[in-house]
């Protein structure tokens, strides 16, 4: 949720944010109007209630002749107070509904939509020239099937489209990635956690995931619970309704969890293999920091993601995501995209978002400083996920269908250097 006082004082800043996102900037004016109505109705209620208290106190002091009139007035005021309280609650609910529709105020993100990102830099090894090496690269699924480490056919038989089995070295490759991410997080002082993958509507809504992309989320109506698409949700909810102590620095966690996404509206896009699937595993960083430290923390999370990508020796680029492609809660987001040889494009493998105080306001996560409480800032970032296997297989394949294990992962793979095709 945004800062209503700041919106009232700086409405044009919020209109500009909405324009940059391609969102409805008239929402700013509707929120201001709703806030004025709320304050007027609340003022009327409090004025009537004060009058009611005064009249109630006067009943005992009234003479027998005056008492019937005073009692009648007290009764009339009681009805007026009840009606005024109802109007104040309705106004509060209307404002709350509008405020929850507002996406986070962007901080430095480029304007525009999905294609308007800014490339900040290219990193990692040089992109391989497979033609010069004398063979055409196979895609990750063909490689995975040849190595007998990915089985999408039986995944579809058992669960439907976009499900899969990782087997043998495929399973161990994913565990290697996740364990390397765990070690990286621990090295940087993050507390590792296995998180719940089912959360309440209050927590899901509080993180901002039930807005524009609510159709991406699996919902269990019988239990009134949502399956999480990232452990960010459970980690954000971990300190909901709490006052944190951040005087010694940020609170940092890494969540290891299975994630679920409906991938609604993604028909025909990356449906082959394990690029865009309904179930996957992910190691997610999450940090609670003071608002003035959020931008520095954002760079810290990005640097950790890049350390992981250097560990597995992938060619990648870093992009500054455009405002219109940000999630509702993100004020700014950096993605790392690994090179995908068979599609001759870059594919997102990590994201890190600065959510400023947006989620903390919705989840009532505060810090007490100088005798006052105020919202903290929250940030998140990916350290590893199942999708990395796609880039690892394609970029490290050999002409005979084998795949070289990146040197940084070999200690997590029992020293294995090459995954060989199954005869």
Instruction: Cite the annotated binding site for ATP by residue number.
Output: 261-263, 277-280, 348-351
CA 176 – CA 291 distance, rounded (Å): 34
Count other C-beta atoms under 10 Å from residue 36's C-beta.
Answer: 13
Count other C-beta atoms under 10 Å from residue 382's C-beta.
Answer: 26
67 assigned to active site: no
How would you write 234-266 as a 3-class SS string?
HHHHCCCCEEECCCCCCEEEEEEEEEECCCCCC
Which one from 38, 172, 300, 387 is the annotated catalytic residue?
387
For residues 215 and 264, the answer to whether their CB atoms sit within 8 Å is: yes
CA 299 – CA 305 distance, rounded (Å): 10
For residues 305 and 108, the answer to whether their CB atoms sit within 8 Å is: no
Which one from 30, 87, 276, 290 is the annotated catalytic residue?
276
What is the maximum span of the chain, computed from C-alpha positions, in angstroms? 110
Count other C-beta atoms under 10 Å from residue 242's C-beta.
Answer: 14
Which one from 300, 351, 361, 362 is the annotated catalytic residue?
351
Instruction: HSE, CB side, 13 Å, CA atoms: give it for residue 351.
Output: 18
Which one from 348, 364, 374, 420 is the annotated catalytic residue?
348
Binding residues: 230-232, 261-263, 277-280, 284, 348-351, 380, 382
345 assigned to active site: no
Residue with tokens 């492609």: 325
Extract the tokens encoding 297. 């923390």
Closest CA to 364 of 246, 201, 210, 240: 240
Extract the tokens encoding 401. 């269908």
Which one from 252, 261, 300, 361 is the annotated catalytic residue?
261
348 assigned to active site: yes
Binding residues for L-serine: 230-232, 261, 284, 380, 382
Tell me which residues are annotated as active site.
Answer: 261, 276, 348, 351, 387
């Amino acid at each position: 949720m945004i800062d209503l006082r700041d919106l009232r004082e700086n409405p044009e800043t919020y209109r500009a944010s909405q324009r940059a996102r391609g969102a409805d900037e008239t929402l700013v004016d509707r929120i201001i109007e709703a806030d004025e109505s709320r304050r007027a109705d609340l003022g009327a209620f409090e004025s009537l209630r004060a009058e009611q208290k005064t009249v109630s106190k006067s009943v005992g002091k009234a003479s027998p002749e005056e008492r019937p009139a005073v009692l009648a007035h007290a009764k009339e005021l009681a009805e007026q107070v009840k009606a005024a309280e109802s109007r104040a609650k309705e106004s509060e609910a209307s404002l709350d509904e509008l405020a929850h529709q507002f996406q986070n105020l962007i901080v430095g993100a480029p304007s525009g939509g999905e294609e308007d990102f800014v490339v900040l830099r290219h990193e990692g090894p040089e992109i391989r020239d497979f033609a010069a090496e004398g063979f055409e690269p196979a895609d990750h699924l063909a490689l995975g099937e040849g190595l007998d480490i990915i089985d999408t056919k039986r995944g579809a038989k058992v669960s439907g489209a976009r499900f899969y089995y990782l087997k043998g070295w495929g399973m161990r490759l994913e565990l290697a990635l996740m364990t390397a991410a765990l070690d990286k997080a621990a090295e940087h002082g993050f507390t590792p956690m296995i998180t719940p993958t089912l959360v309440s509507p209050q927590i899901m809504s509080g993180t901002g995931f039930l807005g524009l992309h609510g159709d991406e989320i699996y919902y269990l109506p019988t239990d009134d619970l949502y399956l999480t698409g990232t452990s960010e949700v459970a980690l954000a909810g971990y300190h909901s309704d709490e006052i944190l102590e951040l005087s010694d620095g940020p609170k940092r966690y890494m969540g290891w969890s299975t994630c679920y996404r409906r991938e609604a509206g993604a028909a025909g896009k990356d449906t082959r293999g394990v690029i865009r699937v309904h179930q996957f595993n992910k190691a997610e960083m999450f940090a609670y920091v003071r608002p003035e430290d959020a931008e520095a923390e954002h760079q810290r999370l990005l640097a950790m993601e890049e350390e992981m990508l250097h560990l597995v020796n992938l060619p990648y680029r870093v992009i500054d995501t455009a405002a219109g492609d940000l999630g509702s809660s993100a004020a700014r987001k950096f993605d790392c995209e690994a090179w995908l040889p068979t599609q001759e494009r870059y594919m997102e493998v990590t994201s890190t978002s600065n959510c400023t105080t947006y989620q903390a306001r919705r989840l009532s996560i505060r810090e007490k400083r100088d005798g006052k409480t105020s919202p903290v800032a929250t940030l998140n970032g990916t350290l590893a996920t199942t999708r990395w296997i796609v880039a690892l297989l394609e970029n490290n394949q050999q002409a005979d269908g084998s795949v070289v294990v990146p040197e940084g992962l070999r200690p997590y793979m029992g020293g294995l250097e090459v995954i060989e095709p199954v005869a």
